[in-house]
Amino acid sequence: MLKAGPKINGSQHLVVGTEQIAPGALIPTHKHPTEDEIVLIHSGTAHAWVGEQERDLHAGGLVFIPANTWVRLKNTSTEPLDVTFIFSAPGFDEFQMCISVPAGETPTPMTAEDLQKCQAPGHMIYKETDAKHQ
């Protein structure tokens, strides 16, 4: 759920939102070419790949992701992983709004084609799955 951004409250410099990731689920390998990102972990445990580094993150943890850096995040706990994400500039908010459903509606699985259509030009690039991280 987006909390701040151009279409939410007029922010011209930040995008902030929250997300809940199911146990065992992951955010696939991707990068944001022009925006730095910070992810704050509120509950659960995650394994993060940032560039060539890997880290385990727990509640209270924070990860900084420089612009144009490949990143992947997996919920390794048995509880939902609650995170807040902060971007240094708008762009990713368009993608997030495209893949989201209104409050109270049940999300439906997206096809690869649907996901491709949502990628905001210049703000989100997915990488082919790396077998090393399966």
Percent of the chain, pLDDT > 90? 42
What's the pLDDT tens digit per position in 19-67?
Answer: 899 999 998 898 888 889 999 999 999 999 999 999 999 999 999 999 9
The closest alpha carbon to 59, from 36, 43, 80, belongs to 43
Q: How far is CA 18 from CA 33, 54, 111, 121, 134, in A?
A: 21, 22, 23, 22, 25
Which pLDDT does position 108 carry in this prediction? 77
**Kind of pairing, strands 125-126 and 2-4?**
unpaired
Q: How far is CA 32 from CA 38, 61, 134, in A?
A: 12, 21, 22
Determine the residue type at 46.
Answer: A
User: Is the model's pLDDT at 132 over the cut of 50?
Assistant: no
Dihedral pair phi/psi, residue 91, rounded to 5°: 145, -60
User: Is the model's pLDDT at 76 over the cut of 80?
Assistant: yes
Kindly state the tokens that stand for 72. Answer: 């992947």
* CATH number given to 2-128: 2.60.120.10
Determine the residue type at 76.
Answer: T
Q: How far is CA 123 from CA 25, 63, 80, 102, in A?
A: 23, 19, 26, 22
How far apart (Å, rounded) are the C-alpha atoms in residues 82 and 23?
11
